[in-house]
Structure formats: structure tokens, C-alpha cells
């Protein structure tokens, strides 16, 4: 026994499973969730929010962090913050008080035009597809 960390003996070109386990064990739950969201987005072939350009139609995938009902010019608007592990965008459904399946913690894929409103990134009335709910 040499006393060295088994993860340090793995080749630098090819991360070992043990190295991946060590890095996941040393990270916070939020970091693991972000990494999982990034890998799912990559697998689905969607645009990471950090790379999405304003005034472009994009398809993004992520998890809903918050849902808020807010008045917009006298009409209701449902807002949901979508986080994909690289950034976030606020999805806004004008004239809606509730949408089935739009709840905190739910993952989905959304398509729409990214814009700026009052210094934050938004997608108005996006099309979305919910990921299957995970029983927990």
C-alpha cells in the first residue's frame, strides 16, 4: 500500500469512476443538481442558458425554482424561474393564474424567444413539455 489517494492514480486524460465519485461526494447538493441539469441539457441537445442569445428563439431544459403570480397592467401573469445549471430565465404566461404541472422542483423543456425585461431574461408564453414526474 503506497498511501496515495486511489483517485490520484487515474490517468488525467480519462477520469475514472472513482474520481467522479470523489468529486460528487465533495460537492454540495446544489452543485450536484446543477451538474445533473447540465448533463441532461447536453444529452437533449438544447441550448444552455449561459450561451442563449437575446432575441433568439431557443429551446432550454431545466428545473423550476420559483412560481409567482404577479399583475401585469391589470391582468394576471404567472411567472416561473427556470434554472438549467448554467443560468436562469423567467418564463411569463400573460393572462394566466395557474398552469397544470408548473410547480417548484418540476423539470421541463421550454421553447420561446428570449428577451430582456427590467434587467432580467424572460420568455413570454413559452411552449413547454413537462418531464415525467418522479415519485418520491
* Host domain of residue 121: 33-130
* Residue 123 in domain: yes
25 grid coordinates: 461526494
* Residue 23 in domain: no
If one compares 77 and 10, the residue with the highest pLDDT of the two is 77
Domain count within the chain: 1
- Of the candidate ranges 36-40, 81-85, 103-107, 111-115, the one whose mean pLDDT is the lowest: 36-40
Give the CATH number of the domain where residue 85 resides. Answer: 2.40.50.140
**Predicted TM-score (pTM) of this structure:** 0.76
The DSSP bridge pattern shows strands 75-83 and 88-94 to be antiparallel
**According to the model, what pLDDT value does residue 37 have?**
87
* Residue 2 in domain: no
**H/E run at residue 82:** strand 75-83
Amino acid at each position: 500500500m503506497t498511501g496515495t489517494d486511489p483517485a490520484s492514480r487515474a490517468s488525467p486524460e480519462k477520469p475514472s469512476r472513482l474520481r467522479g465519485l470523489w468529486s460528487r461526494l465533495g460537492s454540495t447538493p446544489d452543485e450536484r443538481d446543477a451538474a445533473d441539469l447540465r448533463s441532461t441539457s447536453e444529452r437533449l441537445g438544447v441550448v444552455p442558458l449561459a450561451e442563449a442569445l437575446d432575441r433568439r428563439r431557443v429551446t432550454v431544459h431545466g428545473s423550476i425554482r420559483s412560481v409567482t403570480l404577479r399583475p401585469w397592467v391589470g391582468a394576471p401573469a404567472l411567472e416561473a424561474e427556470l434554472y438549467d445549471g448554467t443560468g436562469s430565465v423567467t418564463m411569463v404566461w400573460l393572462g394566466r393564474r395557474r398552469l397544470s404541472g408548473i410547480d417548484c422542483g418540476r423539470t421541463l423543456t421550454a421553447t420561446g424567444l428570449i428577451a430582456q425585461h427590467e434587467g432580467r431574461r424572460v420568455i413570454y408564453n413559452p411552449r413547454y413539455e413537462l418531464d415525467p414526474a418522479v415519485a418520491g
